[in-house]
Amino acid sequence: MLAPKVEQLFGNKKDGEFYTIATLGSHSALQILKGAHDEGFRTMAIANRDTERLYRSFNFVDEVVGIDKYEDFPQHMSMLENRKIIIVPHGSFVAYLSLEDHKRMTIPYFGNKAVLDWEASRELQRQWLTAAGLNLPRQFKSGAEIDRPVIIKLYGAQGGKGYMFVRDPKDFEQRAGLLARRDYMIQEYIIGVPLYIHYFYSPLTGRLEIMSMDRRYETNVDSLGRIPAAAQEGLKLDPSYVVVGNQPISLRESMLAEAYRMGEDVVRVSKEICGPKGLFGAFCIETIITPDTQFYVMEISARIVAGTNLFIDGSPYSYLNYNEPMSTGRRIARELKNALLSNSLRSVLDDTSEI
Ligand code: ATP
């Protein structure tokens, strides 16, 4: 069967037949919607009362739907159900919507929701990454076990807020009061360069691409080096990991093959644990690289991450594959377009999607 033409798929912008890519107005929505617009889709931002005017001010946003709070989105889903809408999720979806909200959603959804369970649980995530052969920081069950510097990660902390550097068991004991009745994880502190690698895996072609990379700029850990160690003595300075921004980075080419292998192995194992579709679309592996050029993996994010916002105009890596600006947001829209053109939309949507 011949693939339908783009005009047949996208129809007329005014006749309601046009596919609309929709997302919540925050995180990387501008990148996603600009990419969707550039690929020929109609675009929709679901904004709250504070962000509505902002999203209206961009000419590539065709429609802004205002809701009171992002948490209310599940109550508003029915108004989108009878339209040709495809939801592209980003980091705010996991912040505002529960796993159940995600699974109840029948609006066509880019991505595989089965991955969410493996990502949301730190234990399952660790199993997944270990099975993929990635190098993970050691985990300690209790303060007494600590034999090296560690980082304490409070559950539910976001953007590195509430993380604590702990030097040894004595230091841990002194903070016991702060940790009482809280859920946390004790992880080996890896001293090295943090590198966040942004990937895109296409289920249509079976090919993995490195889209871009960034390092985060965190306060105050990234500024402690500006004060000589001798001057820090007695200041009682505690490193904190609150993200204030992202910086682009390009990796030594000799280390790229390992970065690529990590992405491939994570995708391969995901197909064994999350159903045959596995992890697809955009994802990010968060690493720290030590002086012996070993990658330690802190975390995986199974969707577009905010660090890709640096590359709305493309990155050095995406330029190698595409001689045109190709953000991760645009790459998602390109995949959806290619799926429509080859009558394989279902292969890039979660199975709960009603199309
Ligand atoms: P997000 O969900 O936005 O990715 P998060 O709250 O999950 O953030 P992480 O990405 O796990 O936070 O970590 C935040 C920061 O803490 C990292 O960028 C890094 O600087 C530091 N960090 C985390 N784990 C380690 C580790 N094992 N060793 C050293 N530093 C670490």
pLDDT one-digit tens code per residue, 154-189: 876 666 677 889 998 888 888 888 778 788 889 999
pLDDT at 173: 87
pLDDT at 114: 96
Q: Where are the alpha helices (DSSP H) in the chain?
A: 6-10, 29-38, 52-56, 73-76, 78-81, 91-96, 99-104, 114-120, 122-131, 169-174, 176-179, 229-232, 253-273, 316-321, 328-341
Rg (CA), the chain: 21
pLDDT, tens digit, 9 for 90 and up, residues 303-323: 999 999 999 999 999 999 999
For the whole model, what pTM was predicted? 0.92
Q: How far apart (Å, rounded) are the C-alpha atoms in residues 114 and 1?
A: 31
pLDDT at 163: 87
Which range is most confident: 145-159, 219-233, 335-349?
335-349
- With the most atoms of ligand 1 within 8 angstroms of its CB, the residue from 288, 300, 303, 304 to mutate is 288
pLDDT band at 237 (very low <50, low <70, confident <90, very high): confident
Mean pLDDT (whole number) for 117-135:
95
Position 125 pLDDT exceeds 70: yes
Position 127 pLDDT exceeds 90: yes
- The fold for domain 139-188 equals Dna Ligase; domain 1 (3.30.1490)
Nearest Cα neighbor of 331 from 181, 210, 172 is 210
CA dihedral sign, ordered 37, 42, 47, 51: positive
Give residues (CB < 6 A) around ligand 1. 137, 151, 157-160, 163, 187-190, 194, 216, 218, 241, 286, 288, 298-299
Mean pLDDT (whole number) for 226-230:
90
Position 58 pLDDT exceeds 70: yes
CA of 153 to the centre of ligand 1 (A): 8
pLDDT above 90 coverage of the chain, percent: 75
SS3 63: strand
Sheet with 241-248, strands from edge to edge, namely 241-248, 207-220, 193-202, 281-289, 295-301
Q: How far apart (Å, rounded) are the C-alpha atoms in residues 184 and 181?
A: 10
pLDDT at 9: 54
pLDDT greater at residue 163 or residue 128: 128
Q: How far apart (Å, rounded) are the C-alpha atoms in residues 27 and 322?
A: 25
CA-proximal residue: ligand 1, atom 23 (nearest): 298
CA of 209 to the centre of ligand 1 (A): 24
pLDDT band at 1 (very low <50, low <70, confident <90, very high): very low
Position 11 pLDDT exceeds 60: no
Q: How far apart (Å, rounded) are the C-alpha atoms in residues 341 and 40?
A: 13
Which range has the worst mean pLDDT, 7-16, 162-171, 223-232? 7-16
Task: Report the C-alpha dihedral over residues 181, 183, 185, 186, rounded to 10 degrees.
Answer: -10
Residue 223 neighbours by CB distance under 10 Å: 11
User: Average pLDDT over the chain, rounded to whole?
Assistant: 91
Ligand 1 closest atom vs CA 189: 28
pLDDT at 17: 55
- CB 46 within 8 Å of CB 25: yes
Position 196 pLDDT exceeds 70: yes
Helices and strands, counts by H and E, the chain: 15, 13
SS3 210: strand
Nearest Cα neighbor of 205 from 341, 34, 87 is 341
CA atoms within 13 A on the CB side of 202: 19
CA-proximal residue: ligand 1, atom 24 (nearest): 298
